[in-house]
A and B are shown apart, each in its own frame.
Chain A
């Protein structure tokens, strides 16, 4: 079974600075998908960014980018020019490439990010 580990329960960043949230995962599969989700105080889960394991290029979405290291099974999220609205809990998630009964997301325990004004 796949596992996702977010070892830092909390992080803090100064507004306008850059912060990197870490995530590692364990899998025996060669093809899969990885995601970062944001959960603000409203508790609505929002998809931030996704990465296909077969793509070497790191995904980017505006101020959000990932550092995907397949051999190291590492998938970190970098937030540039941090804003107060970035304060939230962030979850890393893994999804198998294959369809069928195991096509579900496995989540890490999350990281709480605070942004200092």
Chain B
């Protein structure tokens, strides 16, 4: 079955460390997205990519980095520059254009220890 796989489900980071969240899709979707979810804040866009080797900053890109070397993969790195990284992170993908909503992964909960 096609879908989006996020790993790990839970991730713990020490202060000053970089960590990478994985997102893989086998839906042949062109566009992929990373959102951060905090209580009372809804979903806020971090980065998105519509084609391989190209990506754009979202509303809260500071302290994060991404790559899109393959159509299927869109990993997110949370760097030590992100001051408050504890949150729930959601990856999504979609076809470009049309009334297509997103297909979401099951999320990664990142906690700073």
User: Are A45 and B33 touching (Cβ within 8 A)?
Assistant: no
A15 at the interface (CB under 8 A from B): no
Q: Which of A61-69, A77-85, A104-112 is the interface stretch?
A: A104-112
- B interface residue count range (under 10 / 10 to 19 / 20 to 34 / 35 or more): 20 to 34
Count, A-B residue pairs, CB within 8 A: 54
List of A residues within 8 angstroms of B96 by Cβ = 99-100, 103
User: Are A44 and B40 touching (Cβ within 8 A)?
Assistant: no
B90 at the interface (CB under 8 A from A): yes
Q: Could you tell me which A residues sit within 8 Å of B by CB distance? A: 6, 9, 33, 35, 37, 42-45, 47, 50, 52, 91, 93, 95, 98-101, 103-105, 107-110
User: Are B50 and A105 touching (Cβ within 8 A)?
Assistant: no
List of A residues within 8 angstroms of B45 by Cβ = 104
> Which partner residue on chain A sits nearest B109 by CB separation?
A43
Contacts A43-B88, A50-B101, A105-B101 aside, 18 further interface pairs with beta carbons under 8 A come to A6-B42, A9-B40, A35-B101, A42-B106, A43-B106, A43-B107, A47-B101, A52-B99, A95-B101, A100-B50, A100-B96, A101-B50, A101-B56, A104-B31, A104-B33, A104-B45, A104-B58, A107-B42
List of B residues within 8 angstroms of A91 by Cβ = 42-43
